[in-house]
Amino acid sequence: MHGDLLIIGAGATGVSVFVNAVRTARHRSIRIVDPRDVGRGIAFGEYHPDLLTNSSCEANSLVPDEPYDFVDYLCDRGLSRAPHDVVERRLLGEYVAHRFEEYSVLAAARGVRVERIRARARSIGKRTGGYRVALSDGTEVRASDVVVAAGLEKPRIPELMRAHQDDPTFLASPFPADRLARRVPPGSRVLVLGSRQSAVDAALLLCGDGSRVTMASPSGQLPAVRTATPLLPASVTASQGIASLDSADPRLVRKLTRIMVESVRQCDARPLREQMTGATDPVQRLRAETALAESGACAWQDVAVGVSAELAAWIPTLPPPARAKVLKAFHTVGRRYATALILPNARKLLGHIDRGALRLARDYPVRVRRRGPVWSVEWPDGDVSTVDRVVSACGYEPPVLWHDTTDDSIHLEHAPRHALPVDRLGADLRIRTSAQAPPENIWVVGAATHVRVLFFATLLYIAAHQAKDVALQLGASTARDLQELAELSH
């Protein structure tokens, strides 16, 4: 055994690092730092029954080598679920906590000391032979290796609400759900800003409690609708075709589009136009896509996970001009389909729309102001409406790491003013403080890898594979060790 491992973050990603490290690494101690309970991050720390996982059980294993690990856990609890099913998010949080306890026992049996530290990690400084990690309780922890698995925490506040952040009738996020219920009385008129997953969750929670909701976003687009996220590998067409594309080819975007279409056709021979809708009105589009999903005409979902993994690996290798071209071409489509709605939630939204509890606004407010006890909402057409509460559901800011060049320290919060953001990660996910500097023994996994893999970083399937790759590196003292461990893991 060698060294002491410190994992920052005890959510699903952090525990995936822990589990994979216990399986493959050789540390004498593993500490995991997080002020919250294990598995109880924003993503899976909710208990409300209306909040479901947005991906199938089979895409939520913490252990890539055992893709049905979550399914097996549910079966062991007497909760028989098919691999394609979605479940309440609390079950995934409980699975994460259970696997942490289980692998803590396994680690102890192997002579590895495991410690949970309830604090926030603030900075990572260098010391002889390793690092010292400053914690929010004023203490420091020493480690030879550090893995940053920090999740999403800071809500994204839209510009028109930034002056109102301290108003008690404005909520910067719909989570936690019990806070939303406390601060929004049943029967309230609510403006929800956003139209993606967080906004859908907010609408479901609020409408379910009897509120009347208006949902508005700059795009006015809801995510697409799917029934599942099958854990199928990317087709041969996609996996071989994407990797072989020439980044200098002026037809790069067109060829990538063709590869993705052909990948879908391998799952369903029906033309792709028969699996999509041309409706532009958000409600009509939601109805049409729900009907397509119910009829099974959404084969694009069968390749979503595999193609997302291929793109997450390929896009970072592109030169900046080609990368920008691809991202510009696929930004809207990619987000709509990679983070699509699950069918049960689409049906619930339509139900709330049909009974008049939910309205999808065509436009985005130009101004929102307090008028005594209520909010005045001004729309582009000159119309003015009144609501009792405003909820921002625009998602979360991706975590940013900061490099202090004066002492080479890395800051997770309260960074000095002169610190620079860490804006690059290598394929090994190790931090390099400059292009010329050697890699640090500091790895980044999950949401904070957005600087490399973009929005794919929030997908647990991607994060778990990152965790496995980092664990292999942690367990290898030589390149030969790494190769041997990789072979054993397969």
Q: Which pair of structure tokens corresponds to residue 472?
A: 């292999």
Does residue 331 have a pLDDT over 80? no
Of all residues in the chain, the percent with pLDDT exceeding 90 is: 71
A 10 A CB-CB count for 361 gives 19
Separation in Å, CA 220 to CA 280, 285, 343: 10, 11, 19
Q: Give the whole-angstrom CA distance, residue 461 versus residue 458.
A: 9
**Which stretch of DSSP H or E encloses residue 21?**
helix 12-24
Of 35, 32, 36, 24, the closest CA to residue 7 belongs to 32
394-448 residue pLDDT tens = 999 999 999 999 999 999 999 999 999 998 898 999 999 888 889 999 999 999 9
Task: Say if residue 279's pLDDT is above 50.
Answer: yes
Note the helical H segments in 216-319: 236-244, 252-265, 282-294, 300-314
Q: What is the mean pLDDT of the chain?
A: 91
End-to-end CA distance of the chain: 23
**Nearest C-alpha neighbor of 53 from the set 251, 301, 344:** 344
pLDDT digits (tens, 9 = 90+) for 111-164: 999 999 999 999 999 998 899 999 999 999 999 999 999 998 999 999 999 999
pLDDT, residue 222, reads 93
The model carries a pTM of 0.91
Examine the pLDDT at 482 and tell me if it is beyond 60: no
Predicted local confidence at residue 487, as pLDDT:
46
Give just the sign of the alpha carbon dihedral 220, 226, 228, 229: negative
Contact 60, 84 (CB under 8 A): no
For residue 284, which of 350, 238, 208 has the smallest C-alpha distance? 350
Strands 374-378 and 367-371, by their bridges, are antiparallel
Q: Which carries the bigger pLDDT value, residue 129 or residue 477?
A: 129
Mean pLDDT of 292-312: 89
In this predicted structure, what is the pLDDT of residue 191? 98
Tokens describing residue 191: 């403006």
Q: What is the mean pLDDT of residues 250-259?
A: 91
147 token code pair = 């893995």
Given a cut of 80, whether residue 240 has pLDDT beyond it is no
Q: What confidence score (pLDDT) does residue 459 get?
A: 86
Q: Residue for token digits 């199928």?
A: 232
Residue 157: alpha-carbon gap to chain centroid: 18
Confidence of residue 235 (pLDDT cuts 50, 70, 90): low
Distance between CA 93 and CA 99 in Å, rounded?
10
Helices (H), ranges, 143-299: 177-183, 197-208, 236-244, 252-265, 282-294
Tell me the three state secondary structure of residue 143: strand
Cα dihedral angle (373, 378, 379, 385), rounded to 10 degrees? 30
Structural domains of the chain ordered from first start: 4-154+397-489 (3.50.50.60), 159-220+361-392 (3.50.50.60), 225-342 (no CATH)
Report the C-alpha gap between 59 and 272 in whole angstroms: 24
Are 342 and 227 contacting, i.e. CB atoms less than 8 angstroms apart?
Answer: yes
Cα atoms in the 13 Å half-sphere on the side-chain side of 478: 3
Q: Which of 300, 282, 276, 278 is nearest to 350 (CA)?
A: 282
Instruction: Provide the residue type at 363 as one letter.
Output: D
Residue 116 forms beta bridges with which residues? 32
- Residue pair 468/61 in contact by the 8 Å Cβ criterion: no
Estimate the crossing angle of helix 12-24 against helix 89-109, to 10 degrees: 30
